[in-house]
Chain A
Amino acid sequence: MAVTQDMATTTTPGHRPRRKRWHRLPTKNLVVVVITVVLLVLGVVLSASLGQLPIGASQVAGTVFQALGFDNGAAPDDRLIEQTLWQIRFPRVMMSLLVGAALAVAGGVMQAIFGNPLAEPGVVGVSSGAALGAATAITFGLTFFGNWTVAVLAFLGGLITTLIVYSTARSQGRTEVVTLLLTGIAVNAFAGAGLALINFAGDTQSREQIVFWQLGSLNGSRWNEVLIVAVVSALATLLALGLSSQYDLLSLGDRTASHLGVKVERLRIFSVVLVALLTGVGVAFVGIIAFVGLVVPHLIRMLVGPGHRWLLLLSVIGGATLMVYADLLARTLIPAADLPIGMLTSLVGGPFFFWLIRRNRRKAGGWA
């Protein structure tokens, strides 16, 4: 086949526009969005209705519309119901949505920058670093940033550990993924020891608080905390979404991505900060909740493919959905008991992840 001939005959463009195919909106993605959103809304209503004080779904909808300025007959007249919804259940539901979304996006970003679907904030040490920072604030009663102190220290802890891991795993401007994951293990062990030490040093009350929070719980979420998580995670998520096409290029490998104009090292450092923000702010208020950052992006990748714009967007919805149901289960599985949600996600997420590994290994291309 003569090359010259091909060059001449193929300059006419294809009949379908091909540009940025992995960014366009296929019907399949739309279906996934619609189904996830329906599940999400259902989960929110269920989570607000169910509990020690059962409240009708119409009353839940009524009070929300009332608050939005639409007077309606469905809104509850009972003060107790009003208070239960607005002071206990709604902040908790909001917190579950936000933390779920933040963790899922953090996982998606981390997998993108390390080119490995096994990378997860917990694996690389962000979670335990953040835990160490937050535990320090709790035990020593630090308050120099007011309401934000625990969050700021959790973020700093996560950021410092991630930067340590990152700089250790980096040599000659390259990040070896294997070294990175191994360093993550060492850092996790060290942060775990630090956590144990602080636990040991603290009084009974802060010790209980730390243990409870190591297992993760959305119990007692307050509106001011919800606001902090909302602001930080919305900002970080928007920034991550803005980088999605660069994350796509990064999957070609560092050098090739840089040949296509990506400033790889700068992108990575910036993304590590985003991951520390997204993870740290969640960890600060609800404790360690594992596997969300691993399972959600993985499932979404299986549904809509690896393009990062859709992956991150759907991780927001998917993470929120997963977490609202996980919290619903944590609250209602055993009557009158609030299970630690981190334990629950690991209990379900662990075997699920195991199944994912087996399933993927059977396919050609392994983890791809």
Chain B
Amino acid sequence: MTVTTSTTTALTLDAVSYQVGSHRIIENVSLDVNYGEVLALVGPNGAGKSTALGLLAGDLKPTAGEVSLDDRPLARWEAKELARTRAVLLQANQVAFSFTAQDVIDMGRAPWIGTPQADQDDAAIAQAVAVTDVAHLQQRSFPTLSGGEKARVSLARVLAQRTRIVMLDEPTAALDLRHQEEVLRIAREIARQGQAVIIVLHDLSLAAAYADTIAILHHGKLAACGTPGQVLTAERVQEIYGTAVRIIPDPDTGRPVVLPRRQA
């Protein structure tokens, strides 16, 4: 999949720091996100995962360092242009008025209004609805959906946007086992088609099973970054999360599974 790093790098964090007052949330993080890959951002609560995602998405401006998209600093991207390049799924997805799920998914096409790609609106929406399994929810009012249903409809909106970079902030938090696996399979599939996918996750085994690269944040610093096999060692996870774990290979895929050690 990787041809040469220079042509496949989607996003670059170059020595990025972000601080609020005197509190450093992100400290000197450098990271590349490549097209065609799933990058999982993991780390304990408060490690700075969502902030890192906010920096990558352009919501937050780094207090030091630079974030570039396709080798161009994020600050030099137009809002519309950026909306056609990256889509973001946030943790909380509230809608202020009683728009239907269908309306919400349609809004994912808003950045493309007036462009030739608007011809793909129907196809993009139909595909997004199908892969996220929300066809039966389309006529429902969004605010009346359950947490998991909201998350899936919002994911459909993000997929309908059809951007070459997709960022998902804890997309699996409200989902049941089947839909968790499905979201990660979707992430894998769009990466296979050449898009860059960044997922913030809590479940290390889930990250290990689907991500090409895992980046562990700890106290705002990048503690480790590499393939799941390289990054997820029992010692490291134990040190960062402060709880004893056992790492065993998945009998089917050989990818690491992280099991907390429990008293009998």
Residues of A within 8 A of B (CB): 1, 3-4, 6-7, 9-14, 17-22, 115-117, 245, 248-253, 255-256, 258-263, 301, 305-307, 364-366, 368
Contacts and interface: CB of A to CB of B under 8 A. Distances in A.
Contacts of B98: 301, 305-306, 365, 368
Given A251-B95, A364-B144, A260 B111 contact: yes
B80 A7 contact: no
B57 to A, nearest CB: 7
B95 A368 contact: yes
A3 B182 CA distance: 8
Interface in B94-119: 94-100, 102-104, 106-111, 113, 118
Given A251-B97, A261-B82, A10 B107 contact: no
A307 B104 CA distance: 11
Contacts of B97: 115, 117, 251, 301, 306, 368
B194 to A, nearest CB: 13
| 7 nearest CB pairs, A to B | A368-B143, A261-B83, A306-B97, A115-B96, A13-B122, A365-B143, A10-B130
Contacts of B59: 255, 258-259
A261 B186 contact: no
B103 A21 contact: yes
A280 B230 CA distance: 65
Given A251-B99, A258-B59, A260-B111, A6 B90 contact: no
Given A1-B182, A19-B106, A259-B88, A7 B122 contact: no
Nearest to A264: B79
B79 A258 contact: yes
B126 interface: yes
Given A3-B131, A253-B94, A301-B97, A368 B141 contact: yes
A366 B183 CA distance: 29
A261 B110 contact: yes
Name which of A4, A11, A19, A366 has the most chain B CB atoms within 10 A of its CB.
A19
Name which of A11, A17, A117, A251 has the most chain B CB atoms within 10 A of its CB.
A251
B12 interface: no
B236 to A, nearest CB: 31
B244 interface: no
A261 to B, nearest CB: 3
B32 interface: no
Contact of B111 (A116, A261, A301): A261
Contacts of B144: 364-365, 368
**How many interface residues does chain B have, given as a range?**
35 or more
A206 to B, nearest CB: 42
A365 to B, nearest CB: 4
Contacts of B45: none
Contacts of B100: 305
Contacts of A365: 98, 141, 143-144
A120 B102 CA distance: 28
A117 to B, nearest CB: 7
Contacts of B161: 260
Interface in B108-151: 108-111, 113, 118, 121-123, 125-127, 129-131, 133, 141-144
B143 A14 contact: no
A305 B139 CA distance: 12
Contact of A1 (B82, B92, B133, B143): B133
Interface string B67-97: 0000000000001101110111010111111
Nearest to B54: A255
B110 A249 contact: yes
Contacts of B102: 18, 21
A266 B185 CA distance: 38
A357 to B, nearest CB: 16
Given A255-B59, A365-B143, A261 B79 contact: yes
A252 B95 contact: yes
Given A21-B103, A256-B90, 8 more contacts: A3-B182, A3-B189, A19-B122, A245-B110, A245-B113, A252-B104, A253-B93, A368-B97
